[in-house]
Amino acid sequence: MAKLTAKTADVYTLYENSVQDPETEVRFLKRVYKKKYNKRPTSLREDFCGTGALACEWVKDSKKNSAMGVDLDPAPLKWGTEHHVASLGKSADRVRLVEADVLKPRDEKFDIVSANNFSYFCFKERDVLLSYFKTVLGSLNKTGFFYLDIYGGPEAQVPQLEEWEYDDYSYVWDQDYFDPVSGDYLCYIHFKFPDGSKIKKAFTYDWRLWNLMEVKDLLIEAGFSSTKVFWEGTDKDGDGNGVFRPVKKGDGAIAWLAYLVATP
Ligand SMILES: C[S@@+](CC[C@H](N)C(=O)[O-])C[C@H]1O[C@@H](n2cnc3c(N)ncnc32)[C@H](O)[C@@H]1O
């Protein structure tokens, strides 16, 4: 088979393969919801959905499930429609990928609203993030929750390149710039290929690096009644083991990724 190059690669395929794991997320969401409400969740809205990978996996998981994905950018929505939605066959009518701003309130309510891969970091102003959280709260059923992720630790603030090698390409996470005064945080994803070709700045993230306590406080200020932090456990070498459990205290990891679940 011909080796992948910058010319032949599809950036959405590479992105999904490198940073997303919708099957694991669906399992996590079902487990957390069942524990909290002792029933199965059926409706999900994936905010900042990009290609709608989670929304489509949700619909695939059960005939009772339905999902909406919301994103401003028509390009990943089109890709997701052609790839994920199309492959759902008859179940495709249970998912809608909508081009819209997540800040705009919608009437429909959901069991779960998700905001993944730190996408809400694009809201740099406190008032804007607060208004987004209020909008999410207004979109949740009484027995519902908001699911979002966050990362941090001292290493998150350090300009650096981290590279992960896959079979036919490398994924590079580029923390280009962090300003401790404003919290401004500029990151990129680049891809490199065996023939030496590159896709530089395949994705650009102009963010504010929010910290966990700020986000928890803002969720409560927005009207959520409680927040839970799910922290990753460690294996015998002290490395992350991929198992996230609710905690009251974290640990001194120099870089961490955690999940937050906020209930109405
Ligand atoms: C980091 S990507 C997330 C892609 C995917 N959901 C994931 O989990 O990896 C961020 C996405 O948020 C979208 N986005 C940014 N601001 C938005 C807004 N105000 N409303 C809707 N989507 C927005 C961008 O178009 C982009 O597709």
Q: 178-204, pLDDT tens digit by residue?
A: 999 999 999 999 999 999 999 999 999
Cα–Cα distance for residue pair 136/43, rounded to 1 Å: 14
The 3-class secondary structure across the chain, one letter per residue, is CCCCCCCCCCHHHHHHHHHCCHHHHHHHHHHHHHHHHCCCCCEEEEECCCCCHHHHHHHHHCCCCEEEEEECCHHHHHHHHHHHHHHHHHHHHHEEEEECCCCCCCCCCEEEEEECCCHHHHCCCHHHHHHHHHHHHHCEEEEEEEEEEEEECHHHHCCEEEEEECCCCEEEEEEEEECCCCCEEEEEEEEECCCCCEEEEEEEEEEECCCHHHHHHHHHHHCCCEEEEEEEEECCCCCEEEEEEEECCCCCCCCEEEEEEEEC
Q: What sign does the dihedral 47-216-220-227 (CA atoms) show?
A: positive
Ligand 1 centroid from CA 50, angstroms: 6
Q: Are 207 and 179 in contact, with CB atoms under 8 Å apart? A: no
Whether the pLDDT of residue 249 is over 70: the answer is yes
Looking at the chain, the whole-number percentage of residues with pLDDT higher than 90 is: 94
pLDDT in tens, 94-140: 999 999 999 999 999 999 999 999 999 999 999 999 999 999 999 99
116 CA closest ligand 1 atom index: 8
Q: Probe ligand 1: pick from 45, 48, 77, max atoms within 8 Å of CB?
A: 48
pLDDT greater than 90 at residue 14: yes
Q: Whose CA is nearest to atom 25 of ligand 1?
A: 73
Residue 119 CB less than 6 A away from ligand 1: yes
Average pLDDT, the chain: 96
> Residue 102: CB within 6 Å of ligand 1?
yes
Q: What is the rounded average pLDDT of the residues 259-263?
A: 98
Mean pLDDT value of segment 41-62: 98
The size of the chain, in residues, is 264
For residue 137, the model assigns a pLDDT of 98
Verify whether ligand 1 is closer than 6 Å to residue 48 (CB atom).
Answer: yes
Kindly report the protein residue whose alpha carbon is nearest to atom 13 of ligand 1: 48
Every domain of the chain and the residues it spans: 19-153+209-263, 155-207
Question: Does position 2 have pLDDT exceeding 90, yes or no?
Answer: no
What was the pLDDT predicted at 132? Answer: 98
163 ligand 1 Cβ < 6 A: no
Q: State mean pLDDT over 49-60.
A: 98
Q: What is the 148 CA–ligand 1 centroid distance (Å)?
A: 13
Q: What's the pLDDT score for residue 237?
A: 84
Q: What is the pLDDT of residues 69-90, one digit of tens each?
A: 999 999 999 999 999 999 999 9
Atom of ligand 1 nearest to the CA of 52: 6
Decide if pLDDT at 155 tops 70: yes
* Nearest-10 Cα torsion for 218, 219, 225, 229: -110
The per-residue pLDDT for 1 is 66
19-153+209-263 maps to which CATH number? 3.40.50.150
Place of tokens 């504010």: 208
Predicted pLDDT at 242:
87
* Strand 170-178 versus strand 198-208 pairing type: unpaired
Q: What whole-number percentage of the chain has pLDDT above 70? A: 100
